Amino acid sequence: MRKISLIPTLAHGAHPLADAAVQRRQLAEVPIPRFAAKLSEVGAGPLRAAPRIEVLQINVGRRCNQTCLHCHVDAGPDRTEVMADDVMDACLRFIEHAAIPTLDITGGAPEMHPAFATLVRRARALGCHVIDRCNLTITGLPNYAYLPAFLAEQQVEVIASLPHYALETTDAQRGAGVFAESLAALQRFNAVGYGQPAGPTLNLITNPLGGSLPAPQAQLEAEWRHELMVRYGISFTRLYTLTNMPISRFLAQLVAQGELTAYMQLLVEAFNPGTVAGLMCRNTLSVGWDGRLYDCDFNQMLAMALPQTIFEVTPEDLAERTIRVGSHCYACTAASGST
Ligand code: SF4
């Protein structure tokens, strides 16, 4: 594997924005309408969860082999947070008890958790559909070469981040060397059937390089399908677009460049009430590495915790709960939506 260039995480560099409370304050100071008020204005507030949880998304730790510029987790090789066995056991008990259809495993690079393969097997044995949020390059490291074949055997859906099908954009966002390694990884996934018509699902996620909105998803998907096939012989299932979330490392970038207010105003201007019904937080429960609960992975990184932990929560506690919102939520409701 080629060497991937890394940047220090905010946590490692003792950056003030490594503190979630500082991030929340910084966002609250931006002069835009409060998200809760915006929802009420269009008759969609307060934002409430659906009666039933469909997806348990668990963040198994913040370790990663990459340090992407936009990472909302501030993940990297220097992070040490990792989900303990008893938290993982409690997640699986909750899945069984609440008959959760989907387990969505994220990180960091979730595959770096020592019990990743065990977790996948146990969730599949419970009949769960399992999603692995994969950064692709992890499969090029010697200890993780088993992943494509293992994930295919377990029929795990892979959702992989790739900013662009061109080298410059991808390496600018995710570190020099990432593009070539990502292509090699996609070819490995294709070789075991991923992204083929009857094979397991390989979805890609793209996000813009800086403070702009992604282009319409359908238009990009057609373009990406053509370019990745013609240039590299790579196929995939679906392409999703993601709006950059103004928290953590992307927030630090916006602040450093004096672009935070302009970016937030862009998100507010693009507010689309039609996205509210499909927001991820409405049918998802997010679990942190330490067992705390959140409405979504973004709220998790802003430390906007629910009162219960995975050890004592019941599905009844969570049905139709009021979702905790903030200015960052405008990233999920901009244009065609992004969750
Ligand atoms: S950040 Fe998005 S998914 Fe999370 S609570 Fe806000 S709207 Fe919901």
Contact 160/68 with Cβ under 8 angstroms?
no
- DSSP letter (8 states) at residue 82: B
Would you say how long the chain is, in residues? Answer: 339
Count of CB atoms situated within 10 Å of the CB of 80: 8
pLDDT band for position 328 (50/70/90)?
A: very high
Residue to mutate (ligand 1; options 328, 330, 336; most atoms within 8 A of CB): 328
Closest residue by Cα to atom 6, ligand 1, is 329
Structural domain contains residue 53: yes
The pLDDT of residue 227 is 94
Regarding predicted confidence, which is higher, 336 or 37?
Answer: 37
Q: What is the pLDDT of residues 29-80, one digit of tens each?
A: 999 999 999 999 999 999 999 999 999 999 999 999 999 888 899 999 999 9
**CA of residue 95 to ligand 1 center, whole Å:** 22
pLDDT for 339 equals 58
Ligand 1: which residue has its CA nearest to atom 7? 329
What is the per-residue DSSP string for 27-72? HHTS-S--HHHHHHHTT--S-B--SS--EEEEE-BSB-S---TT-S
CA of 325 to the centre of ligand 1 (A): 6
Alpha carbon of 91 to those of 98, 105, 132, 252: distances in Å? 10, 11, 16, 32
Question: What whole-number percentage of the chain has pLDDT above 70?
Answer: 99
For the segment 267-288, the average pLDDT, to the nearest whole number, is: 97
Q: Say if 125 falls within a structural domain.
A: yes
Q: What does the alpha-carbon distance between residue 224 and residue 243 come to, in Å, rounded to a whole number?
A: 17
Q: Give the pLDDT confidence score for residue 2 in this predicted structure.
A: 62
Range of the domain at 123: 16-333
In angstroms, the CA 120 to CA 185 distance is: 20
Taking the C-alpha atoms of residue 2 and residue 181, their distance in angstroms, rounded to an integer, is: 7
Strand ordering across the sheet containing 157-161? 239-241, 202-206, 157-161, 129-134, 102-106, 55-59, 284-287, 293-294
Give residues (CB < 6 A) around ligand 1: 279-281, 295-296, 298-299, 323, 325, 328-329, 332, 339
**Tens digits of per-residue pLDDT, 68-116?**
888 899 999 999 999 999 999 999 999 999 999 999 999 999 999 999 9
Give the CA dihedral 103, 21, 326, 320, nearest 10 degrees: 50
Please name the helix (run of DSSP H) or strand (run of DSSP E) that holds residue 106, with its range, or none. strand 102-106
The mean per-residue pLDDT over the stretch 9-27 comes to 96
pLDDT at position 1 = 63
> Average pLDDT for residues 126-154, to the nearest whole number?
97
> Ligand 1 mean position to 60 CA, how many Å?
20
Torsion sign (Cα): 68, 74, 79, 85: negative
Residue 338's pLDDT band, with cuts at 50, 70 and 90, is confident
Residue whose CA lies nearest to ligand 1 atom number 8: 281
φ/ψ (deg, to 5) at 8:
-70, 145
CB 83 within 8 A of CB 116: no
Ligand 1 centroid distance, CA of 201 (Å): 25
Q: 47 alpha carbon to ligand 1 midpoint, in Å? A: 10
Q: Whose CA is nearest to atom 1 of ligand 1?
A: 329
Single out the residue of 232, 216, 225 nearest to residue 167, CA to CA.
232
CA of 188 to the centre of ligand 1 (A): 33
Q: What is the rounded distance in angstroms from the CA atom of residue 333 to the CA atom of residue 280?
A: 11
Over the stretch 173-225, which tens digit does the pLDDT of each residue have? 787 888 899 999 999 999 999 999 999 999 999 988 889 999 888 889 999 99
Whether residue 84 lies inside any domain: the answer is yes
Identity (one letter) of the amino acid at 66? Answer: Q
- Domain count within the chain: 1
CB-CB contact of 17 with 255 (8 Å): yes
Closest CA to 311 of 62, 101, 97: 97
pLDDT of residue 199: 96
Q: Tell whether 276 is covered by a domain.
A: yes
Q: What is the pLDDT of residues 130-139, one digit of tens each?
A: 999 999 999 9
Query: pTM for this one?
Result: 0.95
Q: Which of 102, 186, 183 is nearest to 147 (CA)?
A: 186
User: Which residue type, as a one-letter code, is found at position 330?
Assistant: Y
Q: Closest Cα partner for 260 from 245, 246, 244?
A: 246
35 part of a folded domain? yes
In a domain, 5, yes or no: no
CA torsion angle for 220, 223, 229, 230 (degrees, to 10)? -150
3-state DSSP call for residue 249?
helix
- Alpha-carbon separation of residue 323 from 6, 293, 320 (angstroms): 35, 12, 9
Calculate what percentage of the chain has a pLDDT beyond 90: 86
Residue 3 has pLDDT above 80, yes or no: no
- For residue 168, which amino acid is it? E
Asked if residue 234 belongs to a domain, the reply is yes
CA of 184 to the centre of ligand 1 (A): 33
* 145 occurs within a structural domain: yes
Ligand 1 atom at minimal distance to the Cα of residue 296:
4
CATH of the domain at 233: 3.20.20.70
Neighbours of 222 (CB within 10 A): 11
Closest Cα partner for 6 from 63, 77, 54?
Answer: 77
